Amino acid sequence: MEKINFLIVSLEKYWWLALIVFSIPAIWALFIPGFYGASDDLHIGWLFEMDKVLRIGQIPPRFVPDLSFGFGYPLFNFVFPLPFYIGEIFHLLGLSLVDSVKGVFLVSLSLSAFTMFFLLKEFSSKFLSLAGSLIYLYTPYRSTDTYVRGAVGEALTFVFLPVLTLAFIKLTKFEEKKLNFKWIGIGSLSLLALTLSHNITIYMFFPFCLLLGILMIIFHSKQKLKSILQIFLTFFLGLLSGIYFWLPALVDSGLMKYDTVFNFKDHFPTLLQLFKPYWGYGASVPGPYDGMSFFIGISNLILFASGIILLFFYLKKYSTLQKIILVWSIISFLMAGLMMNYRSTFIWDNLPLLPYFQFPWRFLIITTFVTPIFIITLEEIKFNQFIGIFLIVLTILLSFNIFRPHDFLGRMDDYFLKRYIPTPIANKKYLEIQEEYLRLPLNTLYRPSKNYPLLNQQYPIIQNLKADADLNSQFKTISSQSLTISYNKYLFPGWKVLVDNKNVPISPGSPFGQITFKVPSGAHKISIFFAETQLKILLDLISVFGIIVSLIFSFFKFSVGGKRLVSVLSR
Average pLDDT of span 256-280: 87
Q: What DSSP designation does 502 have?
A: E
Which of 346-350, 481-485, 528-532 tops mean pLDDT?
528-532
Give yes or no for residue 193 having a pLDDT over 90: yes
Per-residue pLDDT, 569: 40
Q: What is the pLDDT of residues 411-424, one digit of tens each?
A: 999 999 999 999 88
Higher confidence at residue 175 or residue 99?
99
If phi over 0 gives left and psi between -120 and 50 gives alpha, with beta otherwise, what is residue 564? alpha
Rounded Cα–Cα distance for residues 567 and 571 (Å): 7
Q: What is residue 423's three-state secondary structure?
A: coil
Rounded Cα–Cα distance for residues 126 and 7 (Å): 13
- Which of 79-88, 172-181, 338-347, 425-434 shows the lowest per-residue confidence on average (mean pLDDT)? 172-181
Number of CB atoms found within 10 A of residue 328's CB: 22
Banded pLDDT at 460 (limits 50, 70, 90): low
Average pLDDT of span 133-138: 97
Residue 331 identity = I
Q: Give start and end residues of each alpha helix (H) in 354-447.
A: 364-370, 384-399, 413-420, 428-431
Banded pLDDT at 567 (limits 50, 70, 90): very low
Compute CA distances 480 → 353, 464, 477, 484, 522, whole Å.
52, 18, 10, 13, 6
- Cα 523 to the center of its chain, rounded Å: 49
| CB contact burial 251-280 (16+ within 10 A = b; e otherwise) | ebeebbeeeeebebeebbbeeebbeeeeee
Average pLDDT of span 380-384: 83
Banded pLDDT at 264 (limits 50, 70, 90): confident
Per-residue pLDDT, 268: 94
Give yes or no for residue 181 having a pLDDT over 90: yes
Give yes or no for residue 564 having a pLDDT over 60: no
Per-residue pLDDT, 65: 94
Give yes or no for residue 347 having a pLDDT over 80: yes
Per-residue pLDDT, 570: 41
Give yes or no for residue 127 having a pLDDT over 80: yes
Per-residue pLDDT, 568: 39
- Element spanning 325, H or E: helix 320-339
Average pLDDT of span 316-326: 93
Compute CA distances 47 → 42, 53, 75, 414, whole Å.
9, 10, 11, 13
Per-residue pLDDT, 470: 85
Hey, which residues does 497 pair with through a beta bridge?
A: 528
- Which of 123-137, 175-189, 525-539, 550-564 shows the lowest per-residue confidence on average (mean pLDDT)? 550-564
Rounded Cα–Cα distance for residues 513 and 508 (Å): 4
Q: Do residues 368 and 158 lie in contact, with contact meaning Cβ atoms separated by under 8 Å?
A: yes
Give yes or no for residue 4 having a pLDDT over 60: yes
Cut 0.95: pTM above it: no
Q: Do residues 326 and 309 lie in contact, with contact meaning Cβ atoms separated by under 8 Å?
A: no
Higher confidence at residue 353 or residue 218?
218
Q: What is the pLDDT of residues 227-246, one digit of tens each?
A: 999 999 999 999 999 999 99
Q: What is the pLDDT of residues 547-560, one digit of tens each?
A: 999 999 999 876 55
Q: Do residues 294 and 269 lie in contact, with contact meaning Cβ atoms separated by under 8 Å?
A: yes
Per-residue pLDDT, 565: 45
Percentage of the chain lying above the pLDDT 70 cut = 95
Banded pLDDT at 562 (limits 50, 70, 90): very low
Q: What is residue 196's three-state secondary structure?
A: helix
Compute CA distances 138 → 262, 371, 456, 570, whole Å.
28, 12, 54, 47
- Element spanning 142, H or E: helix 140-143
Burial of 445 (0-12, 13-18, 19+ CB in 10 A): exposed
Rounded Cα–Cα distance for residues 465 and 476 (Å): 7
Q: Do residues 473 and 528 lie in contact, with contact meaning Cβ atoms separated by under 8 Å?
A: yes
Give yes or no for residue 126 having a pLDDT over 80: yes
Q: Round the average pLDDT of the chain to a whole number and report it.
A: 90
| CB contact burial 2-19 (16+ within 10 A = b; e otherwise) | eeeeeebeebbeebeebb
Percentage of the chain lying above the pLDDT 90 cut = 72
